[in-house]
Amino acid sequence: MLQSHSYCLTFSSLVREHWDELRQLTTERRYSRNQVIYRMGDAPDAVYRVEEGQVKVARLSSDGDEKTLDLYHHGDLFGELCVCGASARSEQAMAVEPTTVTCFNVTELRDVLKKKPELTLELVMFFCARLFECQEQVATLAFDEVHERLAKELLRLSRLPASQPGEGGIELAGSLTHQELANLVKTTRQNVTMIMNQFRRQGLLDYRRSAVRVFPERLEAYLNQSRL
């Protein structure tokens, strides 16, 4: 499991322990497929937890070009930078499929964190873990070839709690298109399609329209061979 997701689960368990005090700070919202949860420039007034479905967080350029920052599933927190005092959202969040989220009002959440050091510590650890993962992503973009970036991203997605073992491999959470994978590894859809076909011929993964199944040990061996 990725570090930030581990701390998401710990933070969520602490929230449940203090639910009598915290539930007045929360609202539950449901979104349909492709519905925007918040836009760039919106007031950062809430932290979100995914209860069901899948959320895509992305940056948009002035000409409408989209770069996916990450995908979030059950138990994941997103929109957390509002706790740090950001004046406006710098990214957009959208439901990839029918999705339910819990929203924590940020002003009231800050007041609770002052009184609950155990919650504060887990949230700080979550921030640290997510910062580490961002640094890893920057290094990958700077130093790795596209096929290595895609192999690493598939491995990362396979370690998410929402991904499930199946037929000798790991079925990735959600229904990922080649365009979404391309956005995650910062390349073109055509490159992803070409490399995914190569990976399938090499037995590193299998995919169909609705699902991608990867074989982590084979992908690890492929990456180790690429580094030689």
The mean predicted confidence, pLDDT, of the chain is 83
pLDDT tens track for 67-80: 888 888 888 888 88
What does the block give as tokens for 53?
A: 């479905």
For the record, the structure tokens of 120 come out as 């504060």
Q: Is 186 left (phi over 0), alpha (psi -120 to 50) or beta?
A: left
Instruction: Say if residues 53 and 95 touch (Cβ distance below 8 Å).
Output: yes
Report, as an integer, the average pLDDT of 152-174.
84
Task: Express as a percent the part of the chain with pLDDT over 90.
Answer: 32
What pLDDT is recorded for position 174?
75
Who wins on pLDDT, 228 or 50? 50
What pLDDT, on the 0 to 100 scale, is given for residue 149?
93
CB contact at 8 A, 210 and 131: no
Q: Which span out of 28-42, 46-60, 160-174, 205-219 was modeled with the highest average pLDDT?
A: 28-42
HEC secondary structure over the chain: CCHHHHHHHHHHHHHHHCHHHHHHHEEEEEECCCCEEECCCCCCCEEEEEEECCEEEEEECCCCCEEEEEEECCCCEECHHHHHCCCCCCCEEEECCCEEEEEEEHHHHHHHHHHCHHHHHHHHHHHHHHHHHHHHHHHHHHHCCHHHHHHHHHHHHHCCCCCEEECCEEECCCCCCHHHHHHHHCCCHHHHHHHHHHHHHCCCEEEECCEEEECHHHHHHHHHHHCC
pLDDT in tens, 85-128: 678 898 999 999 999 999 988 887 778 778 878 777 877 787 78
Q: What was the pLDDT predicted at 220?
A: 92
Question: Whole-model pTM?
Answer: 0.71
List, in order of start, the domains of the chain with CATH numbers.
3-138 (2.60.120.10), 144-226 (1.10.10.10)
Give the integer Cα–Cα distance in Å for 195 and 152.
13
